[in-house]
Amino acid sequence: MVEQLHNVLHVFYDATQYFSSAAPNLAQVIPAMDLIDEHLNDNILNLNLHPAIQIALSMAKRLLNRYYSRTDVAPAYRIAMILHPRHKLGYFKDLNWELEWIENAKLAVYNEFATHYQEYGTGIGAIAGGGASRNDNTSTTGTGKNMFANMPALAKINDTAVTNELDHYLKQPREDAGDNALKWWYDHHTVYPCLSRMARDYLSIPATSVDAERVFSKGRILHPHTRNRLSAKSTRASLMVHFWSKLGLVRDADFERAVKTTDSTMDKPTDTRPTAMAQ
């Protein structure tokens, strides 16, 4: 029975380890819950397992479904999924999700984009009449009109062209961006100037609060009761050096040079006498 429990509970151990890292974002939550749900379903129907384990797994699935239903009232989960170039709408279609749910998810993305992000740029072909030649703009000189009044830069923005960014993105084939979807959007920000801003906002949301709690814990270690006079600037700088060094962004030579510069500044004698005495 212990061996059976070990095999059954391994999925929860892997999920805990994965989501305790800094990599997962909101787009990984629903696929992970789907994977856990599939694992539970398979084992609930496994007649080789002890009946008590099967009953416990049924209760676990009921609890999972309760949390799963909460993603329906939080559009951020669906938006992040669709903005991930590996998933888009194809993920839900592959799993045979209800068409109504898929349409609602798509509508949530369009509403969010139109409400908060299309103002950041003009998008793909956003200038109305963008295909007009330069001669078309200067041909008004013979009619007495000011040629500068018809500049393309002052042309009316075509709102439908702005949403074409989202249309264009969803029509393209899915791409395997791995776990680094943010890099994919950075590489394509010239193609999707507005949509890339929205993607960066949603795909930078962590899947759990573990990473944020880890920062607070390190701050407490850096800021014990015996060092409570550190300024906010010093605390922030120390934490940044810590994380940058773990990412390999701080070279040892640079760190040693900074320490030597600080030491030489602190060791330099200063004249603290009043001005009159110093003269």
Give yes or no for residue 87 having a pLDDT over 90: yes
Say if residue 43's pLDDT is above 70: yes
Q: Are 223 and 43 in contact (CB under 8 A)?
A: no
The pLDDT confidence band at residue 5, using thresholds 50, 70 and 90, is confident
CA distance 153 to 132: 13
Rounded to 5 degrees, what angle do the CA atoms 113, 85, 248 make? 105
Does the structure show a pLDDT above 80 at 145?
Answer: no
For 87-113, what is the mean pLDDT?
Answer: 92
Quote the tokens at residue 211: 């990473």
Averaged over 236-250, what is the pLDDT?
82
Q: Give CA 261 to chain center in angstroms.
A: 38
Domain boundaries, the chain: 2-129+145-203, 212-264
Asked whether residue 270 carries a pLDDT value surpassing 60, the answer given is no
Q: Is the pLDDT of residue 153 over 50?
A: no
Highest mean pLDDT among 3-7, 112-116, 243-247, 269-273: 112-116
Question: Comparing 2-6, 159-163, 171-175, 217-221, which segment has the lowest mean pLDDT?
Answer: 159-163
